[in-house]
Amino acid sequence: MCVEIIPIGIAMGAIAFNGPMVLKLGGSNSLLGAMSSLPALMIILFTFPAARFMDSMRDTQRRKNWVVGSLALSRMAYLFIMLVPWLLPPAWAAVAIVTIVILQSVPLALFNTAWAVIIADVCPPNRRSALFAMRLTLVSASMALGSFLSGFFLDAVPFPLNHQLLNFISFLLAQYSTYFILKIEFPEPFTTVKTQIEAIGKRVRPSVHELLNNARAFVHEHRSYVNFNIVTLICWIGAWGAAPIYTIYFVNELHLSNSWIGLNSTIAQIAMMVSAQLWTRLISRKGDFWVVLRTVLLTGMYPLIIVLIPWPSAILAFGFLNTLNDTGLGITHAGLFYAIIPPEKRNSFVAFYSILMNVGAMLAPLAAAPLADWSSAAKVLLICAAFRFGGSLLFWVLPPKPPMTDESQIQSQVTTQA
């Protein structure tokens, strides 16, 4: 379950340049914002129907066919993107590419829904942490290689042929990755989820008064979970809003080359790769909660610094340091989340969190991109930095602390649940 991550990681490093491709075809900042946000809307709309559809399947082979088929269909998008510049004029080509990226999320929602369950079923609990660490290392290394080579390739070959060839290579690599997933022996599906869904469907609809009482009781009983959702949403809005603006800032305002963009992505992946094991050691001593409170305070520095010091070499260095910090935040943030939610309610708590975060991931870029048109990408990055700083302070004001206070006990619980 690790080999498949290498070819798709290289492809991910290459398709990261589809955003600059849209801009060079004449696409607007708002169109690039839609490219970042609307896939999240597709995931919101199709995740629950996909889960119900997969839960209805009792035949393992039929379930496997749908999972692998949905992934293969989603990855066909890279082939379609390659063909677009030959079929449409530039202005329409930019819109078509964004449309393809958005539609790609529909079959991907089905695959993601099933894949999370398959990993949990195939990999025993005592080996999941090692599996996730290995996958993170492999995807970082392969994305670094893909980004580095793609940047120089794009500068050496004329536009738009360079992007077209890159998408075709990505298509071949992605389908090669799909082949490895096809070789995985899928487990027999469980029936508990389907039974729970059927039971929920038979419940009597509660009154408004009962809903309010239930909501108050839920907040009181699961205060840490509620705090976690609030502070994460506010803090991560800054990251989601900044995601398409970085491309606009680097391409349109700083006029940086494809090779520089590739190098920037490569350096970030190297930082992630080398720091993952170092963070693991610190987390084992201090615990997730301690690390989250400290790393989150630095997470808003990157968009602020690259606006104040817009020098290409300095941005590369700041990007490396920022990824070192964000790797620790990402690892501990996930661990803290699983320490907060009760194991017996994990499915419903994860589902609500996922939908809420995808709503934020959809709305933030849609708001940020028009602001960049109205003012500038640099000013929008400063606004995003403010959101990240505000959200990071809320982690201290509304601490999403797990029920236990002893950090060693917390870490032991997280390790057991991982």
CA distance readout (Å), 176 to 62, 135, 167: 21, 17, 14
pTM of the model: 0.67
Q: Quickly count: other Cβ atoms within 10 Å of residue 170's Cβ.
A: 29
pLDDT recorded at residue 321 = 93
Contact yes or no for 272/323 (Cβ under 8 A)? yes
Across 43-66, average pLDDT: 76
pLDDT bucket at 81, cuts 50 / 70 / 90: very high
Token readout for 222 is: 């699961």
- The CATH number of residue 28's host domain is 1.20.1250.20
Listed range (45-49, 65-69, 204-208, 244-248) with the worst mean pLDDT: 204-208
Residue 348 has pLDDT above 80, yes or no: no
Same domain, yes or no, for 272 and 137? Answer: no
User: Does residue 195 belong to any structural domain of this protein?
Assistant: yes
Rounded Cα–Cα distance for residues 302 and 381 (Å): 9
Same domain, yes or no, for 309 and 173? Answer: no
Same domain, yes or no, for 264 and 194? Answer: no
Report which of residues 320 and 190 the model is more confident about. Answer: 320
Same domain, yes or no, for 189 and 228? Answer: no
Percentage, residues of the chain above pLDDT 70: 81
pLDDT recorded at residue 79 = 94
Contact yes or no for 396/293 (Cβ under 8 A)? yes
Rounded Cα–Cα distance for residues 86 and 81 (Å): 10
User: Does residue 45 belong to any structural domain of this protein?
Assistant: yes
Rounded Cα–Cα distance for residues 132 and 136 (Å): 6
pLDDT bucket at 127, cuts 50 / 70 / 90: low
Amino acid at 361: A
How many structural domains are present in the chain? Answer: 2
Report which of residues 80 and 196 the model is more confident about. Answer: 80
The vertex-11 CA angle with 162 and 240, nearest 5°, equals 100
Across 92-116, average pLDDT: 86
Same domain, yes or no, for 106 and 243? Answer: no
Same domain, yes or no, for 245 and 309? Answer: yes
Q: What is the DSSP string of 153-166?
A: HHHHS-TTHHHHHH
User: Does residue 289 belong to any structural domain of this protein?
Assistant: yes
Same domain, yes or no, for 216 and 145? Answer: no
Residue 196 has pLDDT above 60, yes or no: no
pLDDT recorded at residue 312 = 92
Domain enclosing residue 49, as ranges: 1-200
Which of residues 154, 174, 200 is at a domain's end?
200
Same domain, yes or no, for 215 and 192? Answer: no
User: Does residue 205 belong to any structural domain of this protein?
Assistant: no
